[in-house]
Amino acid sequence: MVEADVLVRLSISQYLRDCGYRVIEAASTDEAILVLQDGVRVDIVLTDVQMPGAMDGFGLSQWVRSNRPGIEVILAGSVNRAVSAAADLCEENNGVLAKPYDPQVVLDRIRRLLASRADRRRD
Amino acid sequence: MKSSVARETAVQEGHRTVLVAEDDVLVRLMIADALRDQGLTVIEAANADEALSVLQSSAAVSLLLTDIQMPGNMDGLVLAAFVHETLPATKVILTSGVHPKDSLPAAAHAFFLKPYDVTALVGQVKELLTDCESDGKRR
């Protein structure tokens, strides 16, 4: 969960933990990359598009695609902008979330993404 | 938003929530995981500014575990002093890679030198949280 707003990050992370997921929190794309470079097992990166610092959520998505290609990415932000710019970075129909987050929508997307990935691995 | 009295009551009634303020994400992840494995609720903050936002929200934090040196507008010592002044029921553990020059500030209940023994730190957290519950029952 890559999100610069601590209260938003806390809220969604705790909701997902209550749903049984292990959630790793990153306050910045730099932190996210440190975690990913450390080899921690990650299935999905949920990242805000607008992040402070040199790299935004799009940059992080590209980094994940290049360096940890097995990890799915969900981008969150202004839907129109994210959809048009992120089509090749995320799985179609599953990769973009609108903010403010609706916890149930986040949960549904994660479940669909993991199910979709499991189906692809079976094929 | 909960009043400060309501939050203090929540802390004393044994709500086991630990706020970890640590700017090294891998250290933060390690200690947060270790505390969650003990059944504690852990809120993570990447710096003192984030921790302050959490403390000023409705979250009832029973214990603050904070590194001293962190980037941003304030360090862990200032954060600990804030908790001491405004949330007296909340316990505070300080961590640092450097031994404090003077004695432990009044705001802190314990100090751990980094790199610390995670098991020992978790044990200290649990002991202080037990004190929180005892404090609440005595009132």
User: Per residue in B54-71, pLDDT tens?
Assistant: 999 988 999 999 999 999
Decide which of B58 and B138 is more confident.
B58
Q: For chain B, what percent of residues have pLDDT higher than 70?
A: 83
For B1-13, the pLDDT digits (tens) are: 445 565 566 555 5
- Answer whether residue B112 shows pLDDT above 80: yes
- Answer whether residue B45 shows pLDDT above 80: yes
ipTM of the complex: 0.88
For residue B68, count CB atoms less than 10 angstroms from its CB and return exposed for 0-12, middle for 13-18, buried for 19 or more.
buried
pLDDT grade, residue B102 (50/70/90)? Answer: confident
Mean pLDDT by 10 residues, chain A (123 residues): 97 96 98 96 95 93 95 83 59 69 94 89 76
Phi, psi values for residue A107, rounded to 5°: -60, -45
- B80, B64, B73: which is closest to B18 by C-alpha? B64
pTM of this prediction?
Answer: 0.89
Q: How far is CA A64 from CA A15, A49, A55, A89, B48, in A?
A: 24, 14, 12, 9, 29
End-to-end CA distance of chain B: 24
- Spell out the CATH class of B4-130: alpha beta
CA distance A30 to B46: 12
- How many angstroms separate the CA of residue A120 from the nearest CA in chain B? 31
- The confidence score (pLDDT) of residue A47 equals 96
Chain A residue closest in CA terms to B47? A27
- The confidence score (pLDDT) of residue B95 equals 97
In single-letter form, the type of residue at position A46 comes to L
- Written as six digits, the tokens of A77 are 């932000």
Domains of chain A and any CATH numbers: 6-122 (3.40.50.2300)
- How many angstroms separate the CA of residue A89 from the nearest CA in chain B? 25
Select from A6, A21, A33 the residue whose CB has the most chain B CBs within 10 Å, as the one to mutate to test that interface: A6
CA distance B114 to B117: 8
- The confidence score (pLDDT) of residue B32 equals 98
Contact B26 A27 (CB under 8 A): no
Determine contact: B43 vs chain A, CB below 8 A: yes
- The confidence score (pLDDT) of residue B1 equals 42
Contacts of A53 in chain B (CB under 8 A): none
Contacts within 8 Å (CB) and 24+ apart, B113-116: B114/B27, B114/B67
- The confidence score (pLDDT) of residue B5 equals 62
CA distance A54 to A6: 19
Q: Are B8 and B87 in contact (CB under 8 A)?
A: yes
- The confidence score (pLDDT) of residue A10 equals 96
- The confidence score (pLDDT) of residue A123 equals 72
Determine contact: B41 vs chain A, CB below 8 A: yes
Residue written as tokens 């862990």? Answer: B76
